[in-house]
Amino acid sequence: MADLYMNRILLCGEQDKIDALLEAVRYDTMQRGTIDFCKVIPFPRDEEITQDWRGQYWGLDRNSIPWEWTEENAILFQTAWGNAAGIVQALAGRFQDVEMEYQWASERIGESAGLMQFIEGCCVAEVFRDAGSLAAIEQAAWLWGVDEQEEMEYDTDIRTQL
């Protein structure tokens, strides 16, 4: 089973530009707030598409897994086996008039979490949380919608049993 990551892209700027971005990247059969990686970095017409191609150009071997959209100017989605930093960087380069704050966290609360901020298409800040740190646990708990205190107590219980 894949190690899932929760991803959130917060969009800031003029509303008409945000609306254009949200419409341009959404899955055709789904609502705004979803992201189809094929609409950010399209498949080439003359190549056979493999997991290797997706890994090389998307940084992931699968498309996004849509998640319930609850924020007007944000995209919330899951990925398998890693974050979507490459896709978000390509998206920021394409929509330079929209500032983006990208956050991700592994379902293994506190193991892998971080954030990137893009202004005018460029990454101006990048933070990788230390595995097991309070910041990583808090960020992951917030993105996944779990109580970080319960998660920390669970981790402590497991560690004392080893």
| pTM, two decimal places | 0.88
Residue with tokens 């646990």: 137
**Residue 47: per-residue pLDDT:** 66
Residue 64 CA to residue 50 CA, distance in Å, equals 16
- Averaged over 51-58, what is the pLDDT? 87
- The continuous run of DSSP H or E covering 54 comes out as helix 51-58
- Mean pLDDT (the chain) is 89
Range scoring the smallest mean pLDDT among 49-58, 71-80, 81-90, 145-154:
145-154
Check whether 154 has a pLDDT greater than 70. Answer: no
Check whether 63 has a pLDDT greater than 60. Answer: yes
| Count of the separate structural domains present in the chain | 1
Give DSSP secondary structure letters for 63-99.
--EE-----TTEEEEEEESS--HHHHHHHHHH-TTSE
**Residue 150: per-residue pLDDT:** 62
**Residue 160: per-residue pLDDT:** 43
Instruction: Count Cβ atoms below 10 Å from residue 97 Cβ, excluding itself.
Output: 13
Check whether 25 has a pLDDT greater than 90. Answer: yes
Residue 55 sits in which domain range? Answer: 4-161
Where residue 8 falls among pLDDT bands split at 50, 70, 90?
very high
